[in-house]
Chains A and B, each alone.
Chain A
Amino acid sequence: MPDTYDTHDTRDTHDTRDTHDTRDTHATRGRPAATAAAGAEPMIAVEGVQKVFDVRRRVPGSLRRERHEVRAVDGITFAVPAGEMVGYIGPNGAGKSTTIKMLTGILTPSGGRVRVAGIDPSRDRARLARRIGVVFGQRTTLWWDLPLRDSYELVRRMYRIEQRRYTRNLDACVDLLDLGPLLEVPVRQLSLGQRMRGDIAAALLHDPEVLYLDEPTIGLDVVSKAKVRGFLATVNAERGTTVLLTTHDLTDIETLCSRVMVIDHGRLMYDGGLDGLHAAGESERTLVVDFARELPAVEVPGARWVRSEGPRQWLAFPAGESAAPLVTALAARYPLVDLSVREPAIEEVIARMYGAA
């Protein structure tokens, strides 16, 4: 397995948009965690964090059970300055959720140091809870049998949110997430997309400084995904909320995050810009072209023919490149009917990045 790709140059150029936030601007330069003493601490600081689970497994063919050590997270270091929006990706079982659970205080790290908003999550979980918002895509915090509004009222009382602030935040969420007609509907009657929007609003009513989203777009249709993404971008831009988001949908990352971290087998494999990730993974996007009639394999510069099926052909091109010149070149030479671009799946990118692994 190769070492972590180091691409600090790309990260720094992307981080310039954080300058509206004065709290942590110098923390974005260089290794923030190490230089924390010199300036303000980053919003999320993780140093050499590990989580080791003891798992008992049956030995095949006998009743004996053996203890196994599973290193879900195996020495991760990163820092996220305030106001940044970071994508956290990796294949299933890579350690994404475990990391998030350590950042919320649900799980206690086996080793290393974690600080979120200056707080040690596992030691001061309840105090941290007021300053973070968490959305688990696969799990709802809403009350199944009660109207959506009741869940929000409970949040108001549990977090002791001042009435004026609560009304303002709720109104903003209702407005941006189209929750108006849903407030009096029992949660069990909401669609998956509606419930997810409801969950995201519930996580933001107390003005958290940090928002963790664990697969917030899982199972949603295209329209709901777009709505969720638009809302998250607004929250990040207007409130300066620091966002850490895990997903399997690269489009989430592309539309929202300037920085992406890739985790695999509990180790951080990449930390930098999305374009850098594509370059590192030599990933390709696919252009699916429908011609007016069946043609022999087309040849255009910058693309590679993959396969044909009747008048439809698949062409691969580097993910970092724009599709526009390719389309222009094709249109100039062949009769086009339709075309679409397919993004590389994150698993493919990662698989290619670490080929043998």
Chain B
Amino acid sequence: MWRGLATYGLVVRMWMRSTMAYRTSFVLTTLGNLAATALDFVTITLMFSHIDALGGFSLPEVALLYGTTSVSFGLADLLAGSLDTLGGRVRDGTFDTLLLRPAPVLAQAAADRFALRRFGRIIQGLAVLGWAVSRVDVRWTVPAAALLALTVLSGAAIFCAVFVAGAAFQFWAGDAAEIQNSVTYGGNTLLQYPPGLFARDLVRGVTFVVPLAFVNWLPVLHVLGRPYPLDLPPWADFLGAPVAVACCLLAGLAWRAGIRSYRSTGS
């Protein structure tokens, strides 16, 4: 674990310095990213200029969903988002290089092409979350605030696990980045809205198959005092952290199996 973090830090620093070799490009893409993510929430506020509630949720309530998943996904994307480019390294064989170093491969692969500009999404998510927390009709007791904080962190861990599992799948599929994106980026968009808006089968899928519902839906709905569309025991609202741990373990196993089946390329 410690080795992994040290390796991650080393590789991240190398990529940050590589990025700084092209300063102008870095500044421009960072600004562009920030603008794009900012506009993302503007579309939701525009929607609310015509309606008062979405699926029974007010704007601050939707913003609470939006803010929690954005920060979780932003953290995961910053820390492990590069894993969706792993397919390229597997196909062209440059993944070999990572295997030749005496350092944890997952840490190297996660830090690969580390992009500081992804901070933009976290900052924007935190801003929306802060606004939502001050405006929703919730009494922020210590347990409620603690649940929200824990939710954001376990949500990030669940998204990280999805990135790792997706990367592991790319060892077999060669390039499955799009499937992975549908779960990560797609999941993030899904979780920005109340679950009542979606078909029950879809909600079942993200509750029981890819447990994205634990990223924010269940705990945030609990904080807001709203019912979840599926019939779940009340303690399910607090399962975020254990589900995150289980996801990470499963993703770790998938990653190991993936590496074992790595075939490299011809030369």
Q: Which residues of A contact B (CB under 8 A)?
A: 53, 93, 97, 101, 104-108, 125-127, 129-130, 134, 136, 138-139, 141, 143-146, 150, 154, 157-159, 186, 214
Q: Is the CB of A141 within 8 A of B97?
A: yes
Contact residues of B: prevailing secondary structure = loop
By beta carbon, the residue of chain B nearest A122 is B260
Q: Give Cα A53–Cα B266 distance, bound, in whole angstroms.
A: 11
Report the minimal beta-carbon distance from B179 to chain A, rounded to whole angstroms: 19
B18: chain A residues at CB < 8 Å are 143-146
By beta carbon, the residue of chain A nearest B20 is A145
Q: Is B143 an interface residue (CB 8 A)?
A: no
Q: Is the CB of B102 within 8 A of A158?
A: yes
Q: Is B10 an interface residue (CB 8 A)?
A: yes
Q: Is B7 an interface residue (CB 8 A)?
A: yes
Q: Which residues of B contact A (CB under 8 A)?
A: 7, 10-11, 14, 17-18, 21-22, 93-94, 96-97, 99-104, 260, 262-264, 266-267
By beta carbon, the residue of chain B nearest A188 is B21
By beta carbon, the residue of chain A nearest B22 is A145
A-B contact count (CB 8 A): 61
B264: chain A residues at CB < 8 Å are 101, 106-107
Q: Is the CB of B17 within 8 A of A146?
A: yes
Q: Is the CB of A154 within 8 A of B14?
A: yes
Q: Give Cα A175–Cα B96 distance, bound, in whole angstroms.
A: 29
Report the minimal beta-carbon distance from A92 to chain B, rounded to whole angstroms: 8
Q: Give Cα A150–Cα B14 distance, bound, in whole angstroms.
A: 8
Q: Is the CB of B21 within 8 A of A186?
A: yes
Q: Is the CB of A159 within 8 A of B102?
A: yes
Q: Is the CB of B260 within 8 A of A127?
A: no
Q: Is the CB of B94 within 8 A of A145?
A: no
Q: Is the CB of B10 within 8 A of A154?
A: yes
A104: chain B residues at CB < 8 Å are 99-100
Q: Is the CB of A106 within 8 A of B10?
A: no
Q: Give Cα A145–Cα B22 distance, bound, in whole angstroms.
A: 9
Q: Is the CB of B14 within 8 A of A108?
A: no
Report the minimal beta-carbon distance from B32 to chain A, rounded to whole angstroms: 21
Q: Is the CB of A139 within 8 A of B96?
A: yes
Question: Assuming A146-B14, A186-B21, is B103 touching A139 (CB within 8 A)?
Answer: no
By beta carbon, the residue of chain A nearest B3 is A126
Residue B103 contacts which of A141, A158, A186 (CB distance < 8 angstroms)?
A: A158
B17: chain A residues at CB < 8 Å are 146, 150
Report the minimal beta-carbon distance from B208 to chain A, rounded to whole angstroms: 33
Question: Assuming A53-B263, A93-B266, is B7 touching A158 (CB within 8 A)?
Answer: yes
Q: Is the CB of B21 within 8 A of A106?
A: no
By beta carbon, the residue of chain B nearest A54 is B263
Q: Is the CB of A129 within 8 A of B100?
A: yes
Q: Is the CB of A143 within 8 A of B97?
A: no
B94: chain A residues at CB < 8 Å are 139
B102: chain A residues at CB < 8 Å are 126-127, 129-130, 158-159
Report the minimal beta-carbon distance from A143 to chain B, rounded to whole angstroms: 6
Q: Give Cα A143–Cα B19 distance, bound, in whole angstroms.
A: 12
Question: Assuming A93-B266, A106-B96, A134-B100, is B260 touching A146 (CB within 8 A)?
Answer: no
Kindly list 18 other residue pairs between chains A and B, CB separation below 8 angstroms, not including A126-B103, A154-B11: A53-B263, A97-B266, A97-B267, A101-B264, A106-B100, A106-B264, A107-B264, A127-B102, A129-B100, A129-B101, A139-B96, A139-B97, A141-B97, A143-B14, A146-B18, A150-B17, A154-B10, A158-B103
